[in-house]
Chains A and B, each alone.
Chain A
Amino acid sequence: MEKKSVFQSAIERGVSRRDFLKMCTALAATMGLEFSQTDKVVNAMETKEKVPVIWLQFQDCTGCSESFIRSSHPTTESVVLDLISLEYSEVLSAASGHQVEEAMEAVIEHYKGKYILATEGSIPEDGIYCMVGGKPANEIYERVAKNALAVIAYGSCSAWGGIAGAKPNPTNAKPVTAFDSGDTPVMIVPGCPPISEVMTGVIAHYLTFGILPELDGFGRPKAFYKHRIHDKCNRRAYFDAGLFVESFDDEASKQGYCLYKVGCKGPTTYNSCMEMRWNGGTSMPILSGNPCIGCSEDGFWDAGSFTERLADIPLPQKIATVDPAVIGGVVTGVATAAVVAHGAATAVKKNIDDKKNTHEDH
């Protein structure tokens, strides 16, 4: 396998140096670096080899791959062709069948401890529900992960269990972090799907600095997951003012008021949709009038209705959920009623006892 720097392979593809520098600047911005650090990115791209990547899909919908190939800064073609060499991907590899499985084996052998494993989808606890090339998912994952430099778990399914892991979870799906990756560090990039620029940004970060970006307590890259949607929201002024949309298409929604009461999960969701937006910065759900559904949060699929706030006290063995305010209100009401009844009973009993006592006295 040939060893070329990112710059070399870009130039060979007919990219001008000017465009190459532009790409580096865009990358630096995506990663949240200061402009003065752009030269670090340029330097890395000029000197470092492309990283081999194995992209494994498990119980997924290919949505993450779909998001990935829509990256605009940098464009996927420049990521795939210049930054990384995508050695194995069910969606993008030209080869198929035994051929591509052999290619994967070759990567594991040649680049032991030097390639990145990207995963998409959850893994069923007993891999039998998800077999690729005749092997169960958990075995494939553990083998490829143990020999990798790092694992990047793309999407909420890989990161938390996601849709396949939602109740009643018939396949006992688990996030990749539930499986053994040996000493290989795992970074999760949740979202359903994650934002494409975030997906490419974390790879670019690795390429530039040679290490994974700084992670938070859950293993998410801080640069992209340290803010809540709610704290960056363009409707936040309406939230603070107490002006809320009550139902879709009412006057308040036409005014662009806050979507809190129609179930916005912005206050409990960490992601960078507000800053990065979607489809090359075009828009994002709240901007177009739809409440955030909290897709990058653990268990978002089980967190009740998308259009109700906090409707997620799970009822045992059922998929239905209820609002804690309803339960709380009902229980407090019942307690008050019980107290009134108990009070009445106390008064009656005391009366009887008092009468009895007076009776006995005489």
Chain B
Amino acid sequence: MKKKGLMDHIFGAHNYEDFYNPKRQAKIKDLGDGKVKVLVWELPVRIWHWVNFLAIIVLMFTGLYIALAFSSARFETHATDFLMGWLRWVHFVTGFVFMAALLFRIYWTFVGNRYTTFDIYKPGFIRGLWESLKFYIFLPNKKPHTIGHNALAQFAYWIFFGLCSIILSITGLYMFFEPQQGTHFMMNTYILGWVPHVFGNSVKLHIWHQGAAWGTMIFMVAHIYLAFREDYLVRE
């Protein structure tokens, strides 16, 4: 048998299923008739997905109100008026839900079935990326019928979603604790003290946070569309 070279390692692996971790198999149900149902997305991942979805919708709406304060001024005011206060409060609480969900999802990357992990370092990933890209730009392609996300989708998840979520959480947390500036929690280099030295001062943190928020928005537009498209084209 021919020994596999480096290039084969990267571009080879024609059986794309190869690059999924063989150890963490998904559950497979036999439907009879020679068909099987593969339970790709385990229940916790499904729950995470929709909790995250709802959290992002809420965070985006409340966040945009914080950014633009689009309600117009009223002149009959009441002692109980607290619109910005409430929306910020909802933003923060949902923000913590979002962060908890993110932590859970990162944890699940390690313990979940093989479709929940990232495979960037696996052989065949780059080829899968290219073939999937051709699938989306209407070129004839050999996009493998992967179970779970294809390589391109995984890549997008990494870059857009993972990175944006982490930036949102870090900058969000820092801004959340800004009124307590000067406390050990904010000053300690190991907790949050390093944040402004990486992202810049308070203004820049707001810009980063908002930029990542829009990044998430763009990801969502693409993600929802591609999910429907996949369904439409590859229903088998």
Min Cβ gap A188→B in Å is 13
A345 CB contacts on chain B under 8 angstroms:
138
| Contact between B73 and A245, CB atoms less than 8 A apart | yes
Which of B73, B88, B189, B222 is in CB contact (< 8 Å) with A251? B73
A201–B84 alpha-carbon span in the complex (Å): 36
- Interface residues of A, Cβ cutoff 8 Å to B: 216-218, 222, 226-228, 231, 239-246, 250-252, 255, 257, 260-261, 265, 267-270, 294, 297-299, 303, 309-310, 312-313, 324-325, 327-329, 331-332, 335-336, 339, 342-343, 345-347, 349-350
Q: Which B residue's beta carbon lies closest to that of A345? A: B138
A51–B223 alpha-carbon span in the complex (Å): 66
| Contact between B73 and A244, CB atoms less than 8 A apart | yes
B68 part of interface (Cβ distance < 8 Å): yes
| Contact between A324 and B214, CB atoms less than 8 A apart | yes
| Contact between B74 and A217, CB atoms less than 8 A apart | no
A309 CB contacts on chain B under 8 angstroms:
67
Min Cβ gap B151→A in Å is 19
A90–B87 alpha-carbon span in the complex (Å): 52
B15 part of interface (Cβ distance < 8 Å): no
| Contact between B182 and A226, CB atoms less than 8 A apart | yes
| Contact between A298 and B200, CB atoms less than 8 A apart | yes
| Contact between A339 and B222, CB atoms less than 8 A apart | yes
B207 part of interface (Cβ distance < 8 Å): yes
| Contact between A257 and B73, CB atoms less than 8 A apart | yes
Q: Which B residue's beta carbon lies closest to that of A329? A: B214
B81 part of interface (Cβ distance < 8 Å): yes
Min Cβ gap B7→A in Å is 33
Q: Given A243-B74, A243-B77, A312-B207, are A228 and B181 neighbors across the interface (CB < 8 Å)?
A: yes
80-94 of chain B: CB within 8 A of chain A:
81-85, 87-88
| Contact between B74 and A298, CB atoms less than 8 A apart | no
A324–B182 alpha-carbon span in the complex (Å): 29
Min Cβ gap B71→A in Å is 5
| Contact between A242 and B83, CB atoms less than 8 A apart | yes
| Contact between B73 and A246, CB atoms less than 8 A apart | yes
Given contact pairs A297-B202, A346-B229, a sample of 20 additional A-B residue pairs in the complex whose CB atoms are under 8 Å apart: A216-B182, A217-B193, A226-B181, A226-B182, A231-B178, A241-B84, A242-B69, A246-B72, A251-B73, A252-B75, A255-B75, A260-B69, A268-B205, A269-B202, A270-B181, A298-B200, A310-B210, A325-B67, A328-B214, A343-B228
Best-surrounded residue of A270, A324, A336 (most CB of chain B within 10 A):
A324
A350–B201 alpha-carbon span in the complex (Å): 51
Q: Given A231-B179, A345-B138, are A297 and B75 neighbors across the interface (CB < 8 Å)?
A: no
Q: Which A residue's beta carbon lies closest to that of B89? A: A240
Q: Given A226-B182, A310-B203, are A217 and B217 neighbors across the interface (CB < 8 Å)?
A: no
A174–B210 alpha-carbon span in the complex (Å): 29
| Contact between B221 and A339, CB atoms less than 8 A apart | yes
| Contact between A216 and B81, CB atoms less than 8 A apart | no
A347–B231 alpha-carbon span in the complex (Å): 12
A250 CB contacts on chain B under 8 angstroms:
73
A342 CB contacts on chain B under 8 angstroms:
136, 225, 229
A91–B102 alpha-carbon span in the complex (Å): 57
Main secondary structure of the interface of B (DSSP, over half): helix
B148 part of interface (Cβ distance < 8 Å): no
| Contact between A332 and B202, CB atoms less than 8 A apart | no
A335 CB contacts on chain B under 8 angstroms:
218, 221-222
B187 part of interface (Cβ distance < 8 Å): yes
B211 part of interface (Cβ distance < 8 Å): yes
B197 part of interface (Cβ distance < 8 Å): yes
A255–B74 alpha-carbon span in the complex (Å): 11
| Contact between B210 and A242, CB atoms less than 8 A apart | no
Min Cβ gap A335→B in Å is 5
B189 CB contacts on chain A under 8 angstroms:
217
A222 CB contacts on chain B under 8 angstroms:
182
B196 part of interface (Cβ distance < 8 Å): yes
| Contact between A310 and B207, CB atoms less than 8 A apart | yes
Please encode chain B, from 193 to 236, with 1 for each CB lying within 8 Å of some chain A CB and 0 for all others: 10011001111011100110110011001100100110011000
B203 CB contacts on chain A under 8 angstroms:
265, 268, 294, 297, 299, 303, 310, 312
| Contact between A325 and B68, CB atoms less than 8 A apart | yes
Which of A227, A294, A297, A347 is in CB contact (< 8 Å) with B181? A227
| Contact between B202 and A243, CB atoms less than 8 A apart | no
| Contact between A268 and B201, CB atoms less than 8 A apart | yes
B181 CB contacts on chain A under 8 angstroms:
216, 226-228, 270
| Contact between B81 and A241, CB atoms less than 8 A apart | yes
A324–B208 alpha-carbon span in the complex (Å): 9
A257 CB contacts on chain B under 8 angstroms:
73
A32–B134 alpha-carbon span in the complex (Å): 66
A260 CB contacts on chain B under 8 angstroms:
69
Q: Which B residue's beta carbon lies closest to that of A252? A: B73
- Supply 6 A–B pairs (Cβ within 8 Å), ascending by A: A218-B196, A227-B182, A240-B82, A245-B73, A257-B73, A268-B202
A228–B175 alpha-carbon span in the complex (Å): 11
A325–B202 alpha-carbon span in the complex (Å): 17
Best-surrounded residue of B73, B193, B225 (most CB of chain A within 10 A):
B73
B217 CB contacts on chain A under 8 angstroms:
328, 332
| Contact between B214 and A327, CB atoms less than 8 A apart | yes
| Contact between A270 and B221, CB atoms less than 8 A apart | no
